Structure 1
Amino acid sequence: MKPKILAIIPARGGSKGVPRKNIRKLVDKPLIAWTIEEAKKSKYITRTILSSEDPEIIEVAKQYGCEVPFVRPLELAQDDTPGIEPVLHVVDQCPGFDYIVLLQPTSPLRTFEDIDGCIELIFKNKSPACVSVSIADTSPYWMYTMQEKEQLSPLLTNEFFSRRQDLPKVYALNGAVYVAKVSWLQNKKTFITDETIGYVMSESHSLDIDTEEDFLYCDWKMRKGVQ
């Protein structure tokens, strides 16, 4: 039997880094629309819903065909609300699904192929959770902490690499796709444990919009077709 998969797009109104970013125009449509449209192209997602407390975001999401079955409680839309809490709230409000896919609207370059690739990997490996990652642009093997009197101390002290080509590949969460079995997520209350596997996305699809500079750069990339 084909598993039932619920996609959640979380979008609260109180963005600080880029005010009202979720409904701000990116190229020719609101930021959130790019994620809604890619989710709807997925061949695995059964249902896509928005979780938001903001009436304007809700209206925009509906215009682009996203379901909004409830309004997120205000206590789950605060600056200090742990990111997993709105997800678990959705799970309670929308029972009957086998898997959850979390798609943050701040990753507008993520494609439906990335979404489906992450889902396929979790099926292939029979894992309880899979998250998207990209190759880190800065290696922790070349990072330092600063001690007293500005003395540098290697972050990782077990090995030293003098040439970039010798550095081990390291990966960073890119925030684009999170997938997990519902029962497992309800138990663990996180997508990241030692059971979680990683789906490698290209750097060009991994841009996460957190600042005004990120937004402007993403807009430029999309207008110019830069990969």
Structure 2
Amino acid sequence: MSKKTEKFVLGIIPARGASKRIRGKALALLGGKKLLSYAIEEAKKSKLLSEVIVSTESSEIALEAKKLGALVPFKRPKELALDETPMLPVLKQAVIESEKFFSKKVDAVVLLQLTSPFRKARHIDEAVRIFLKGGIEGVVSVSRAKTEPKWMLKKKSGVLEFYEKNDFSASRKQDMKEFFELNGAVYVFSRETVMNSKGYAWGKRIAAYEMDKISSIDIDEPIDLEIANALLRAGLNEND
């Protein structure tokens, strides 16, 4: 499904078989369709992704991904498919193996987690367009945070205390500043940013791509699947 673009923009869908919170998450059904299917279908609709690959250690997931039209050019090592495995080494391995497979250097990496079933192709392309304008190392999708950090609590020595020390005398809901939280739907990074990073902080010049709350829904626990199914039945996911 190679597309003619000036840069080689690689879409990567990680799909680990040994998920714990939702057993077999990648192949879990939402509205009668697998989570993996949502990710691949929208990625294939993208006008800016040069190729879409699935990174997995599971033969079952690899077979399903190929049926859905994605490429699985390598098998992810089991040591990169553990619960505690960070995403960064998974992406690095995917870039290295993909460059061997396509015989072409990757310019940009687009991470598409299958836990965001309501992410659409337009979200992917809009985030990539921000990146392609230049002057930044990456783009991450976000949604508006429900509350400010000053209203958050932490537990210290068994006692709750506010995360930040603030004067609450003039605080009103309508006076809240703009705060965002990562929604996990789209991450776009330059090849250099991915390959040179050593921790979670991927680059210093990262732009935000804002998405609405429904498009931002993240399937992390069984209750999230129930909520997503309810949104599907109500037709509230139709945000194109």
Q: Tell me the TM-score normalised to structure 1 length.
A: 0.93
Write the mapping of 1:78-117 to structure 2, written as runs, cut at 5 A: 78-95=82-99, 96-117=105-126
Aligned residues: 226
| TM-fit CA distance, 1:124 | 2.4
Q: Which amino acid aligns with 2:61?
A: I
Shift of 1:6: 0.5
Is it true that 1:210 corresponds to 2:224 in the alignment? no
Q: Can you give the 5+ residue segments of structure 1 that lack an aligned partner in the other structure?
A: none
Opposite residue 148 of structure 2, the aligned amino acid is: S
Q: What is the alpha-carbon distance in structure 1 between the residues aligned to residue 190 and residue 158 of structure 2?
A: 49
Distance 1:73 1:44 in 2: 29
1:155 to 163, 179, 187: 163
**1:141/1:58 CA distance change after superposition, 3 Å:** same
Moved more, 153-162 or 8-17: 153-162
Aligned partner of 2:21 among 17, 20, 25: 17
Which residue type is aligned with residue 169 of structure 1? E
* Paired residues of 1:8 and 1:49 also in contact (CA < 8 A): yes
> How far off its partner does 1:163 sit?
1.1
RMSD in angstroms over aligned alpha carbons?
1.7
Q: Does 1:223 align with 2:223?
A: no
**1:191 offset after TM fit, Å?**
5.9
Specify the code of the residue in structure 2 equivalent to 1:226: L
TM-superposed deviation, 1:107: 0.3
Q: Look up the match of 2:38.
A: 34
Runs of 4+ deviating beyond 6 Å: none
Identity %: 38
One-letter amino acid of the counterpart of residue 78, structure 1: L
Q: Summarize deviations over 1:111-147 as a string: whole Å, max 9, x none.
A: 1111011111112253111110110123222112244
The residue matched to 2:133 in structure 1 has which SS?
helix
Q: Which residue of 2 aligns with 1:196?
A: 206
Output the amino acid matched with 1:44: L
8 A contact 1:35–1:104 mirrored in 2 = yes
Q: Hey, what does 1:64 align to over in structure 2?
A: 68
Tell me the TM-score normalised to structure 2 length: 0.89
> For the Cα contact (< 8 Å) 2:193–2:202, is it kept in 1?
no
User: What do residues 179-202 of structure 1 show as CA deviations (whole Å, max 9, x unaligned)?
Assistant: 011022211245633211111111
Counterpart code for 1:204: I
SS in 2 for 1:220: helix
Measured against aligned partners, the alpha-carbon deviations of 1:128-174 in whole angstroms (never above 9, x if no partner) come to: 11110110123222112244573x43212245353111111110000
How many angstroms apart in 1 are the aligned matches of 2:12 and 2:141?
Answer: 15
Q: What letter corresponds to residue 155 of structure 1 in structure 2?
A: Y
Per the TM alignment, residue 214 of structure 1 is displaced from its structure 2 partner at its CA by 0.2
Give the SS at the match of 2:38. helix
